[in-house]
């Protein structure tokens, strides 16, 4: 079965700093999809960024970018110029061969003023 | 904007009660999902549906059932609630891509925090 591991249960950084959240996954698929979702306190889960494994270029969405290393099965999320509104739980997920999302345990990110 | 709503934000039930959690989406999405979220475990898929009256088991279906009579509505049913079903329940929907994998974004509801006493 596929697994997704987020090794950092909690992180905190100062506002405006850059922070990287780590994620590793295990899959036997050749083509697959990876996602980062964000769940702010008491608010709905939303998609931050996604990566298709066959694309070598790392996905970027404004201040959010990923470092996708296929051979190492690593999919880290970098948040540049962090803002107070980035405080949230961040979940990494991969899509398995049945097109279901396999989720990591989450990283609680706190941005300090 | 896609909107996914859930019938209750907070719910307290007693052991043995039958519990209904309802989810409605307004974007004509084909796919709908029920997850359970517990600290340290991430999200775990309970059931999902790719079409009306269609349902598939996820990773932890035991103790749960679902109903999808209309495209926009997906209900989760706890036939006889137990204390180990105390959790946050999240509903999500996504657009089905004909002929391709359903890799489209999943849109989530606000969640229902269920406590079973």
In tens, the pLDDT along B1-56 reads: 669 999 999 999 999 999 999 999 998 888 899 999 998 889 999 999 988 988 99
CB A43 within 8 A of CB A34: no
Q: Is B88 on the interface with A (CB under 8 A)?
A: no
Ordered domains of chain A (ranges, CATH): 3-112 (2.60.40.10)
User: What would the mean pLDDT of A51-64 be, rounded to a whole number?
Assistant: 90
Which A residues, 9 through 68, put their C-beta within 8 Å of a C-beta on chain B?
9, 33, 43-47, 50, 52
Kindly determine whether residue B106 and residue A99, on different chains, have CB atoms separated by under 8 Å: no
pLDDT classification of A90: cutoffs 50, 70, 90? very high
Nearest to B89 by CA among B3, B4, B9: B9
Task: Please name the residues in contact with A63: beta carbons below 8 A apart, sequence gap of 6 or more.
Answer: A79, A80, A81, A82, A83
Report, in angstroms and rounded to the nearest whole number, the Rg of chain A calculated over CA atoms: 14
Q: Does B105 touch chain A (CB under 8 A)?
A: yes
**Structure confidence by residue, pLDDT tens digits, A15-45:** 999 999 999 999 887 778 899 999 999 889 9
Going along chain B from its start, the domains and CATH numbers come out as 4-98 (2.60.40.10)
Which pLDDT band, with edges at 50, 70 and 90, does B101 fall under?
A: low
């Amino acid at each position: 079965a596929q697994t997704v591991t987020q090794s950092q249960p909690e992180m905190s950084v100062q506002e405006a700093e850059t922070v990287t959240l780590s994620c590793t996954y295990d899959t036997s698929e050749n083509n697959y999809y990876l996602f980062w979702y964000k769940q702010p306190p008491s608010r709905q889960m939303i998609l931050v960024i996604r990566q298709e494994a066959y694309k070598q270029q790392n996905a970027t969405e404004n201040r959010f970018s990923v470092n996708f290393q296929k051979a190492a099965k690593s999919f880290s999320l970098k948040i540049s110029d962090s803002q107070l509104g980035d405080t949230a739980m961040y979940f990494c997920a991969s899509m398995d061969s049945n097109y279901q999302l396999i989720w990591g345990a989450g990283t609680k990110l706190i941005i300090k003023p | 904007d896609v909107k996914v709503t859930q019938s209750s934000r907070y719910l307290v039930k007693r052991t043995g009660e039958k519990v209904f959690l309802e989810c409605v989406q307004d974007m004509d999405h084909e796919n709908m999902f029920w997850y359970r979220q517990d600290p340290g475990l991430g999200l775990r898929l309970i059931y999902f549906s790719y079409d009306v009256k269609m349902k598939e088991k996820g990773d932890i279906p035991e103790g749960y059932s679902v109903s999808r009579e209309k495209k926009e509505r997906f209900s989760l049913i706890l036939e006889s609630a137990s204390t180990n079903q105390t959790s946050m329940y999240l509903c999500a929907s996504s657009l089905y891509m004909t002929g391709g994998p359903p890799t489209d974004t999943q849109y989530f509801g606000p969640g229902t925090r269920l406590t079973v006493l």
